[in-house]
Chain A
Amino acid sequence: MSNVPSDLLYTKEHEWVRIDGNTATVGISHFAQSQLGDVVFVELPDVGKTFEIGESFGTVESVKAVSEIYAPLSGSVAEINNAVIDAPELVNDDPYGDGWLAKFEFTSEPSGLLSAAEYEQFIKEEADK
Chain B
Amino acid sequence: MKQTPLNARHRALGARMVEFGGWDMPVQYAGIIAEHKATREGAGLFDISHMARFWVTGPDSERFIQLIDTFDISKTAIGQSDYGIMCYEDGGIVDDIFTYHLGPDEWMVVANAGNAEKDWAWLNQHTAGYDVVLTDRSQELAMIALQGPKSESLLAGLTDADVINLAFHGITKATVDGVAGYISRTGYTGEDGFELFLPASEIERIWDRLSEAGATPIGLGARDSLRFEPGLALYGHEIDRDINPYEAKLGWVVKLDKGPFIGSEALQDIKANGAARTLIGLEMTGRGIARQGYPVVALDGSELGVVTTGMPSPSLGKNLAYALVKAGSVKVGAEVDVLIRDKPVRASVVKTPFYKARYKK
Q: Which residues of A contact B (CB under 8 A)?
A: 35, 37-38, 40-41, 43, 59, 61-64, 66
Say whether A63 contacts B32, CB under 8 Å: yes
Provided the pairs A37-B31, A38-B31, A38-B32 are in contact, do residues A64 and B16 lie with their beta carbons within 8 angstroms? Answer: no
Secondary structure of the A side of the interface? strand
Known: A37-B28, A38-B32, A38-B34; 17 extra A-B contacts, CB below 8 A, are A37-B221, A38-B31, A40-B33, A40-B289, A40-B312, A41-B289, A59-B341, A61-B289, A62-B32, A63-B32, A63-B33, A63-B225, A63-B314, A64-B27, A64-B32, A64-B221, A66-B289
Partner of A38, one of B16, B33, B287, B289: B33
From residue A70, how far is it (CB to closest CB) to chain B in Å? 14
Contacts of A35 in B (CB 8 A): 16
Contacts of A63 in B (CB 8 A): 32-33, 36, 221, 225, 311-312, 314
Provided the pairs A37-B28, A38-B31 are in contact, do residues A66 and B291 lie with their beta carbons within 8 angstroms? Answer: yes
Contacts of B28 in A (CB 8 A): 37
Contacts of A40 in B (CB 8 A): 33, 289, 312
Q: Which residues of B contact A (CB under 8 A)?
A: 16, 27-28, 31-34, 36, 221, 224-225, 287-289, 291, 311-312, 314, 319, 341
Q: Tally the A-B contacts, defined by beta carbons under 8 Å.
A: 38
From residue B149, how far is it (CB to closest CB) to chain A in Å? 22
Say whether A41 contacts B32, CB under 8 Å: no
From residue B293, how far is it (CB to closest CB) to chain A in Å? 11
Task: Determine the distance from Cα of A38 to Cα of B314 in the docked complex, in whole angstroms.
Answer: 11
Contacts of A61 in B (CB 8 A): 289
Secondary structure of the B side of the interface? mixed
Task: Determine the distance from Cα of A34 to Cα of B341 in the docked complex, in whole angstroms.
Answer: 25
Contacts of B288 in A (CB 8 A): 41, 43
Return the chain A residue nearest B228 by Cβ.
Answer: A63
Task: Determine the distance from Cα of A61 to Cα of B32 in the docked complex, in whole angstroms.
Answer: 13
The 8 closest A-B pairs by CB, nearest first: A63-B32, A40-B312, A38-B33, A64-B221, A38-B31, A41-B289, A63-B311, A37-B31
Return the chain A residue nearest B341 by Cβ.
Answer: A59
Return the chain B residue nearest A85 by Cβ.
Answer: B287
Say whether A41 contacts B312, CB under 8 Å: yes
From residue B318, how far is it (CB to closest CB) to chain A in Å? 11
Say whether B311 contacts A64, CB under 8 Å: yes
Say whether A37 contacts B32, CB under 8 Å: yes
Return the chain B residue nearest A63 by Cβ.
Answer: B32
Say whether A64 contacts B224, CB under 8 Å: yes
CB<8 Å pairs between A and B, sample of 18: A35-B16, A37-B16, A37-B31, A37-B221, A38-B34, A40-B33, A41-B288, A41-B312, A43-B287, A43-B288, A59-B341, A61-B289, A63-B32, A63-B36, A63-B221, A64-B27, A64-B224, A66-B289
Return the chain B residue nearest A66 by Cβ.
Answer: B291
From residue B227, how far is it (CB to closest CB) to chain A in Å? 13
Task: Determine the distance from Cα of A5 to Cα of B220 in the docked complex, in whole angstroms.
Answer: 32
Contacts of B225 in A (CB 8 A): 63-64
Task: Determine the distance from Cα of A61 to Cα of B287 in the docked complex, in whole angstroms.
Answer: 12
From residue A37, how far is it (CB to closest CB) to chain B in Å? 6
Return the chain B residue nearest A59 by Cβ.
Answer: B341
Contacts of B314 in A (CB 8 A): 63
Task: Determine the distance from Cα of A66 to Cα of B319 in the docked complex, in whole angstroms.
Answer: 14
Return the chain A residue nearest B220 by Cβ.
Answer: A64
Task: Determine the distance from Cα of A28 to Cα of B189 in the docked complex, in whole angstroms.
Answer: 33
Task: Determine the distance from Cα of A41 to Cα of B284 in the docked complex, in whole angstroms.
Answer: 13
Contacts of A41 in B (CB 8 A): 288-289, 312, 319
Contacts of A38 in B (CB 8 A): 31-34
Task: Determine the distance from Cα of A40 to Cα of B16 in the docked complex, in whole angstroms.
Answer: 18
From residue A63, how far is it (CB to closest CB) to chain B in Å? 4
Task: Determine the distance from Cα of A35 to Cα of B323 in the docked complex, in whole angstroms.
Answer: 28
From residue B126, how far is it (CB to closest CB) to chain A in Å? 36
Contacts of B319 in A (CB 8 A): 41
From residue A64, how far is it (CB to closest CB) to chain B in Å? 5
Contacts of A66 in B (CB 8 A): 289, 291
Contacts of A43 in B (CB 8 A): 287-288
From residue B217, how far is it (CB to closest CB) to chain A in Å? 15
From residue B20, how far is it (CB to closest CB) to chain A in Å? 12
Task: Determine the distance from Cα of A28 to Cα of B152 in the docked complex, in whole angstroms.
Answer: 42
Task: Determine the distance from Cα of A43 to Cα of B284 in the docked complex, in whole angstroms.
Answer: 15
Contacts of B311 in A (CB 8 A): 63-64
Return the chain B residue nearest A89 by Cβ.
Answer: B33
